[in-house]
């Protein structure tokens, strides 16, 4: 009885090792080339302008999967979602684009004009306007409590044992 259990355990271990080796040897998906992503973005925008919303959505959603934090891609996706009548998806993409730094012409976009009376849209436009304003120069980041934490010695040379 005990021998059978050991054999089953051994077979299970062999199977796990073989499966792990097979997974490790499996080819991994290559990331898409940047020019292919750019072309898909351009084709999606062209399809949107020509009124082919299903194609536009398909292309722009694919680009958004590759570049999920690119503000321009998210804005184009928001335009396409709005044009196709998907209000919640459009707002989600538009809000995320503003959150990650989109700063451009959101208020004048024809596909988004139907949102102009909604408070969410006003909040997004406020965020986009804030993204347009320059960032002030940085100041002091950290104040050290001890004055002698510098790696320089009394004559500007590093003390013994300090990193230079």
pLDDT, one tens digit per residue, over 51-89 is: 999 999 999 999 999 888 899 999 999 999 999 999 999
DSSP state of 161: T
Does residue 145 lie in a domain region?
Answer: no
Query: Where are the alpha helices (H) located in the chain, listed in sequence order?
Result: 2-25, 34-49, 53-66, 71-83, 87-99, 119-132
Residue 142's CB is within 10 A of a number of other CB atoms, namely: 4
Q: Is the pLDDT of residue 28 over 50?
A: yes
147 — pLDDT class (breaks 50, 70, 90) = low
Range 145-158 average pLDDT: 56
CATH of the domain at 105: 1.25.40.10
Does residue 87 lie in a domain region?
Answer: yes
Lowest-confidence range among 61-70, 73-82, 133-142, 152-161?
A: 152-161
Q: Number of structural domains, the chain?
A: 1
Q: Which residue has the higher pLDDT, 120 or 147?
A: 120
Domain that holds residue 81: 34-132
164 — pLDDT class (breaks 50, 70, 90) = very low
**26 vs 114: CA distance, rounded Å:** 49
Per the prediction, the chain carries an average pLDDT of 77
With CA atoms as reference, report the closest residue to 81 among 53, 105, 101: 53
């Amino acid at each position: 009885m005990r021998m059978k259990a050991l054999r089953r355990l051994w077979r299970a271990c062999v199977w796990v090792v073989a499966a792990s080796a097979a997974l490790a040897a499996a080819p991994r998906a290559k990331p898409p080339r940047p020019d292919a992503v750019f072309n898909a973005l351009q084709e999606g925008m062209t399809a949107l302008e020509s009124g082919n919303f299903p194609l536009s959505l398909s292309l722009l959603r694919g680009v958004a999967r590759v570049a999920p934090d690119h503000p321009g891609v998210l804005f184009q996706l928001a335009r396409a979602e709005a044009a196709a009548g998907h209000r919640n998806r459009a707002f989600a993409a538009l809000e995320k684009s503003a959150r990650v730094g989109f700063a451009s012409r959101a208020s004048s976009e024809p596909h988004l004009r139907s949102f102009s009376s909604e408070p969410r849209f006003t909040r997004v436009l406020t965020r986009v306007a804030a993204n347009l304003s320059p960032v002030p120069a940085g100041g002091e980041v950290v104040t050290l409590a001890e004055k002698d934490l510098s790696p320089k010695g009394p004559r500007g040379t590093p003390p013994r044992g300090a990193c230079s």
